[in-house]
Amino acid sequence: MLKISPILPTNYNNQNRVLKQKSSESAPVCENKREYNPAYYMPNNISFGKRIVPFDIAHSEYLKLTNDQKSFLRRNFENFYKLINIDELYWSKGRTIDSKLPLSTEAEMKDFLNVASSYNKYRADKATGTKANRIICLGRSPKWFLNASLWMKGGIQDYTFTAFSSNWYHRNGCGVGEKLFRDDMREPTIEQAFAYKKYLKRIDCTPVDLVESAEKTGKPVIITDYIHSGCGVTSWLDLMSKYAKDDGVLDEFAKSIRLHTMSSNDYIDNVLEYHNAFRNPRVLMPSKLEKYSIPQDYNDMSADVLKSMLVDKNTNECRSTFYSPQAWTIYSPEKFKIAQMTPEELQKAYDYHKMWGGVFPNAWTDAMKDYRNMLNFRILDYLSEHGMLDMRHIND
């Protein structure tokens, strides 16, 4: 039984008064208390504190929820923006008490799970003795989709998160043209590249490690990311190809990887304001990899799902920290997430994020935590309700 600390109705009403004052709506936020007040939907064995979801929800936590708790959390998902302080979100512009969380509709959820299930083909098959492809999650964007595959029946068993937030390439044609340009001024310095390789060694993700993984499984390592121009992936591959050449494994590295990308034709057509001329997004190779035919699997989704799950800053920032070359010599993302940084590293990281206008991830607000956990709950609950949840999975 989950034990959750209580929320006082007075605290809830005070919060709604603040939201009412800040909202552009003239109608009272909580005019019908029976419709919005959690006190009326709180089972006797559940009590909440300031958080809507004062505990992290992943697969194992979801399995422990009672039916009453699930019903209560479904209600909180539906009324999320009425229950939280909107100003505590990473990005509050345009949000109102009538806004909805991502994946609120049946169509959005089906489209999201269609892309998430595209990873399922990389799982191991015990019946045939087939080993799983190793999957590298490049940056934070694909994590919602990968976790959904982790949780569903027939989904993947694991993946490796590799922090990376940068690009020093760009393309013509608003990012979808055939010409690739390199901005040497934005390329990582020798010191930064050395620091990033040390990070890759800690997570067994250097080119040598990936070659060994491919040899062990007999399958290519899957590199997955969200792309528009694909220049972020191009930049990462550029750096990896340099490491591979230095280590004498460039050929082996190029033949050991496969790209698994996602985007939305409808979204990019709308952004570029032309139609019927756009080809599927793809990654253009950096110079050292141009001669290799590296396979690419592209997965398309609706514009609505892409905007809510990949472009929306709240959804994106709820998954991991920003990790650009300027940060590579300051801290490691593993320590950054689990608060093992020294005071000096912590101060440098704080100053860095403040300089770039970012939110310091170790200081997540209650609303940001609730946002992440409500989305986790929504995905898990949908899978469970439709008989798609893997009840035996224990690794979140």
Per-residue pLDDT for 168 more than 60? yes
Query: Do 178 and 62 share a structural domain?
Result: no
% the chain with pLDDT above 90: 57
So what's the pLDDT on residue 13? Answer: 35
Q: What is the mean pLDDT of residues 303-321?
A: 85
The verdict on residue 253 lying in a domain is yes
Nearest C-alpha neighbor of 145 from the set 102, 205, 196, 182: 102
Examine residue 31 and state whether it is found in any structural domain, yes or no: yes
> pLDDT at position 235, please?
97
pLDDT confidence tier of residue 42, bands split at 50, 70 and 90: very low
pLDDT band at 54, cuts 50/70/90? confident
Cα gap 89→234, rounded to integer Å? 31
127 and 97 part of one domain: no
* pLDDT confidence of residue 19: 34
pLDDT score recorded for residue 276: 46
Question: CA-based Rg of the chain, rounded to a whole angstrom?
Answer: 22
Q: Residue 350 has what pLDDT?
A: 72
| CA gap 225, 309 in Å, rounded | 13
- Domain assignment present for residue 354? The answer is no
**pLDDT reading at 71 higher than 80:** yes
Tell me whether strands 296-300 and 169-171 are parallel, antiparallel or unpaired: unpaired
**17 Cβ partners below 8 Å, 6+ apart?**
29
pLDDT (0 to 100) of residue 162: 95
pLDDT number for residue 8: 32
Give me the amino acid identity at 228.
H
In this prediction, residue 172 has a pLDDT band, given cuts at 50, 70 and 90, of: confident
Pick from 87-96, 311-320, 380-389: least confident = 311-320
37-46, 72-81, 193-202, range with the lowest pLDDT = 37-46
**In this structure, are residues 39 and 15 in contact, taking their beta carbons and an 8 Å threshold?**
no
User: Do the domain assignments include residue 280?
Assistant: yes
Decide if 206 is inside a domain: yes
The torsion of the CA quartet 171, 173, 175, 178, rounded to 10 degrees, works out to -50
pLDDT band with cut points at 50, 70 and 90 for residue 93: confident
Contacts of 62 (CB under 8 A, 6+ apart): 376, 377, 380, 381, 384
pLDDT of 193 above 50: yes
pLDDT at 352: 72
Total-model pTM: 0.83
The mean pLDDT of 239-260, rounded to a whole number, is 98
On whether both 125 and 190 belong to a single domain, the answer is: yes
Instruction: Out of 55, 78, 107, pick the residue that ends a domain.
Output: 107
The one-letter amino acid at 63: L
Query: Does 336 reside within a domain?
Result: no
pLDDT at 314: 87
Give pLDDT, residue 338. 53
pLDDT at 250 over 80: yes
**Final residue before a domain boundary, out of 278, 295, 311:** 311
Dihedral of alpha carbons 281, 286, 287, 292, sign: negative
Pair (98, 220) in one structural domain: no
Banded model confidence at residue 356, pLDDT cuts 50, 70, 90: low
Q: How many CB atoms lie within 10 A of CB 81?
A: 22
Last residue of a domain, one of 278, 311, 344: 311
Q: Is residue 347 in a domain?
A: no
132 CB contacts (<8 Å, ≥6 apart)?
122, 123, 124, 156, 157, 158, 217, 219
Residues 86 and 48 in one domain: yes
Which residue range is the domain that position 70 belongs to? 9-107
Residue 151's pLDDT band (boundaries 50, 70, 90)?
A: very high
C-alpha–C-alpha distance, residues 278 and 134, integer Å: 31
- pLDDT higher than threshold 90 for residue 249: yes
Q: What is the pLDDT of residue 393?
A: 59
Half-sphere exposure of 313 (CA within 13 A, CB side): 11
Number of domains in the chain: 2
Please tell me whether residues 185 and 280 are part of one structural domain: yes
**Of 261 and 275, which is predicted with more confidence?**
261
Question: Does residue 76 sit in the same domain as residue 125?
Answer: no
pLDDT of residue 118: 98
**Same domain, yes or no, for 57 and 189?**
no
The verdict on 57 and 194 lying in the same domain is no
378 vs 70: CA distance, rounded Å: 10
Residue 129 sits in the same domain as residue 275: yes
Residue 396 pLDDT > 60 = no
The answer to whether position 329 is within a domain reads no
Average pLDDT, the chain: 82
- Within this chain, do residues 169 and 58 fall inside the same structural domain, yes or no? no
d(CA 182, CA 238): 10
Choose the weakest-confidence range: 34-48, 267-281, 366-380.
Answer: 34-48
Does 257 or 51 have the greater pLDDT score? Answer: 257
pLDDT at 269: 77
Instruction: Say yes or no: 80 and 174 in one domain.
Output: no
Secondary structure (H, E, C), 261-302: EEECHHHHHHHHCCCCCCCCCCCCCCHHHCCCCCCEEEEECC
Instruction: Return the pLDDT at 339.
Output: 52
Q: Which residues contact 336 (CB under 8 A, 6 or more apart)?
A: 321, 349, 361, 362
Instruction: Tell whether the model's pLDDT for residue 41 goes beyond 60.
Output: no
